[in-house]
Structures are given as structure tokens and as C-alpha cells.
Amino acid sequence: MNAWLTIPSAWSAEILAHTGFDALTIDMQHGLADYDTAVTMLQAISTTDTVPLVRVPWNEPVAIMRILDAGAYGIIGPMINNRAEVEAFVGACRYPPAGYRSYGPIRANVYAGDDYFDHANDTVLSLAMIETSEALDNLDDILSVEGLDGIYVGTIDLSISMGLPDHGNLDNPKLKRAIEKILASTEKHNLIAGIHASSPESAAMLSNWGFRLITPVIDSSVLQTAATGILEQTRGSLK
């Protein structure tokens, strides 16, 4: 169970970290947090045992290495389309000889301990986003790259790339077949599959399909939905 953090706030990150989620993902691609704020959010998450993940803005080595040095324990890389891109992504997440990550875990050494370097290649998660038709065509090439831990399906971008009108609708037969293909390949390569869920019922369905990292909560959506519901109930109770 994972929650998605789009609000640039250490306080909201700390609140969600204390609710019992297994992981929290700071979204630096479409969320509002910059690097400085993301560091404070990582510090807030580390008041618990919740695993801190970050979706980086792009498949760019400097951004990946820097947020790992700040203490992220997993990176979600957006728009991974082919073998070369996933090799570059995984390489940025791994110290030599498994990759080309530069040494300098300035906060990670404090958060994880002085032996961080000894275990980093085995403990840091690398999750490639599958969200384009090109990635679907290159699926086995992408998932066979050594050092990749799993994938995260971006259903909306995937449906846009496939030319589907109802973006992210899991009832669309074409999108469902694409997801089935992704899950089959993920299982074949013994990797983790992650995805967003729109409701607890959707999360249960996706778990039954084979997803093992499920995000049923986005902080801004929960805040908006809860506030709207309370406002409507309050107005309805007034004369």
C-alpha cells in the first residue's frame, strides 16, 4: 500500500507516514515539490518505518543520484520506452560495477547508517514507468535489464499514447489487454508491478490481477474530496 504525495509539505507527508502506509511516493514530476522541499518531506517520512520513494521529474542521472543521496529508498522513473533508457535509469540508481552512480550519500548515510554504501545496490528500488505504446512494444527488452526491480503502470499516459478516448479507464478492453500483457511479462521476469487505484474496490481488483504495489491515495485528491464532502454536509444541515 502506497500513497502519492503531490502537496509540497513535510507536515502532510508526516501525517500520511503515520497512518500506516508501507510506502509514500513524493511526486517530483507532476507534484509541486522541488528538491529542497522534497528533502524535508523525506525527513518527515523517516520519523516512521514507511519506505520513502520518489518519482523523479525525468530519466535524468543528476536528479536521480541527488534524491538518492538525500535518502530516497526507491526511484520511479517516468516515460521509460526502450532498453537503452532503462539501462541508463538503472545505472544511475546503482553504484559500480552494477551502475555508474557517483558516491556522495550525504543524508542517506545519516538516515540509513554508515554502512549505506555496502547495501545500497541491494536495497534501493528502481521502478520503470510503462506508459507508452513504444514501451509496450519493447516490454521484454525493458524488463530483462539486470538491476531493474519492477515497473509502475501509468494508465492515463498509456491510454493517451494508445489513442484511447477514456483516459485510464480500466474497463476499456484495449487498455485491459495492454495491462494483462505488462503483468504477464512482469511475472515472467519476476519483477514488481505497481499502479494507481481509484478506490478500495479497484485496489482489490488490481491486487487480484497481480499488482503488488498499489496506490489508493493521492494527498491532494483526498483533501479535496474530504473537504467537499464535509462542506456539503455542513451546508445541508444549516437552516
C-alpha cell at 67: 534524491
Q: Which of the following is catalytic: 30, 119, 167, 196?
A: 30
Report d(CA 144, CA 90) in Å as an integer.
12
Three-class DSSP labels, 75-93: EEECCCCCHHHHHHHHHHH
Report d(CA 17, CA 14) in Å as an integer.
5
* 3-state secondary structure (DSSP) of residue 210: coil
Catalytic-residue membership of 30: yes
- Are 141 and 130 in contact by the 8 Å Cβ rule? The answer is no
3-state helix, strand, coil in the chain (%, to 5): 50, 15, 35
Distance of CA 170 to the CA centre of its chain: 19
Give catalytic residue positions. 30
